[in-house]
Structure 1
Amino acid sequence: MEKLTWCWLLLAVLNSALAQNKLTTKYFTDGGELTLDLRPPPPPGPLGDVLWKIDGNLVAEWVKDIVPVTYYRNFIGRTTLNVTTGRLVIKDMTKADMGVYSVEVNRKVQNERYNAVWIKEVPQPEIWIRPLTCSNDSDSCTLDCEANITEPAGPVTYSWKKGDGEWKESGKDLDITKNGTLDVETFTCRIQNPVSERDSKPKRNPLLEVQSQESDLRDCRETDVFMSMQKRG
């Protein structure tokens, strides 16, 4: 019985330690906005005081009837603290604003902390066809969604669209077959991260038959001639 009680006590201590160390990642980019909420929300009733910090340094502070809302250092002029909800909003973010944000409410340190991470917006991607010999004579090919990402971009996802269809999240590469894409004229890929998204230019389906420009012009001339004869008749 004593051993079981000890196990329950140890489990409770471990759960408490894990709660105290809960860290949520929030991504932002240059000129962006960072919004931090109290999690879990405070108990019902008005707040008495709120204190936000970054890496232990003061960001914003408020104590009811004692300290008016006050902002510190480079957060002055671009930060808003809601004394009803405890929400903190910081505008015009820069790489210098990276760090771990924590909050105290009613003189109690909250479990939730935020790791603010700076990332770059994604560049416009481009679709490459593999192998280079892929043509309308091929049975299958691979489309590769390439983007020149040279800076930290955070988690990146890829999506593909067939013609004017819906976007579907997929991998960086898309395998296509002739039988499966006979009714698809173009493919477009999208690259997305937590702060931005960019689309490629549509790429013509390489497995479709290609009419030559001369053939297209000849068809147009024949159509014009036929219409003229119809009018004369």
Structure 2
Amino acid sequence: HSITWKHKDDIAMEFYNNAVDSYRQFKGTLTLNTSTGTLTINSLQNTDSGRYTVEINGEVAHGIQLEVISPVSKPNVSHTCSEESCVFTCEGGTPDAEPITYEWMLDNRQTGSLKTHTVEKDEPVRLITCALKNPVSNETSNEVPNPLWHVGRGDQVPLHSKWIFVTAV
């Protein structure tokens, strides 16, 4: 009775002559059920991604493709503004967290799904947040105030406006 698990073309673990051996990065991270042939990988790493095949008594039984995806990190929102608009960028995540999707919330109203989002000065938006999502996690940024929004007497007033007050005596 023999069981051999391969990662790509290399042997990851094998059971032969009542002995179980694991190889390379898999030493200490694999568990093999010798009755069922089930392989368990503990403490998954991105390097564990790839095709796995199992041979039982010399015959290939089946294969599986494993993709290890890291959780996304909490994003930060940066912005670049002109007098007319601000471009907000959702920054965060890692290449190991792909595929990542973006979601923008303007005053808790969902809009946009790109890495950047533009807010025009005449849009009544006070607070902006972005979220990063992938198949294993999601994180939301802290709220960021819209630099083009200013509350004054209940009206929207761009911050770059100038006010002159004249007092008559």
Residue 101 in structure 1 maps to residue 45 in structure 2: no
Select which of 67, 88, 92 maps to 1:143: 88
Give the letter for the 1:133 counterpart.
S
Deviations 1:112-166 (A, max 9, x none): 342656x766444322234x224xxx4x5432213385x6553322122233456
Residue 127 in structure 1 maps to residue 71 in structure 2: no
Give the letter for the 1:146 counterpart.
E
Q: Cα distance 1:59–1:190, how it changes in 2: closer, same or farther (>3 A)?
A: same
Residue 160 in structure 1 maps to residue 104 in structure 2: yes
SS in 2 for 1:127: strand
TM-score (norm 2): 0.59
Q: Cα distance 1:196–1:177, how it changes in 2: closer, same or farther (>3 A)?
A: same
RMSD: 4.0
Q: Cα distance 1:104–1:211, how it changes in 2: closer, same or farther (>3 A)?
A: farther
Give the letter for the 2:92 counterpart.
A
Q: Cα distance 1:129–1:75, how it changes in 2: closer, same or farther (>3 A)?
A: closer
1:62-101 maps to which residues of 2 (within 5 A)? 62=15, 67=18, 70-73=20-23, 74-82=25-33, 86-94=37-45, 97=48, 100-101=51-52
SS in 1 for 2:87: strand
Residue 172 in structure 1 maps to residue 122 in structure 2: no
Q: Cα distance 1:207–1:105, how it changes in 2: closer, same or farther (>3 A)?
A: farther
SS in 2 for 1:112: strand
Write the distance in 1 (CA, Å) between the matches of 2:103 and 2:35: 40
Write the distance in 2 (CA, Å) between the matches of 1:62 and 1:49: 5
Shift of 1:211: 4.3
SS in 1 for 2:151: coil
Between Structure 1 and Structure 2, how many residues are aligned? 152
Shift of 1:171: 0.9
Segments of 5+ residues of structure 1 without an aligned counterpart are 1-47, 213-233
Segments of 5+ residues of structure 2 without an aligned counterpart are 154-169
Larger CA Rg, structure 1 vs 2:
1
Q: What's 2:7 paired with?
A: 54
Q: Cα distance 1:92–1:111, how it changes in 2: closer, same or farther (>3 A)?
A: closer
Give the letter for the 1:81 counterpart.
L
Residue 186 in structure 1 maps to residue 139 in structure 2: no
Q: Cα distance 1:206–1:82, how it changes in 2: closer, same or farther (>3 A)?
A: farther
Shift of 1:207: 4.3
Write the distance in 1 (CA, Å) between the matches of 2:57 and 2:118: 56
Checking the alignment, whether the CA contact within 8 Å between 1:78 and 1:90 is kept in structure 2 is yes
Q: Cα distance 1:148–1:102, how it changes in 2: closer, same or farther (>3 A)?
A: closer
Higher strand share: 2
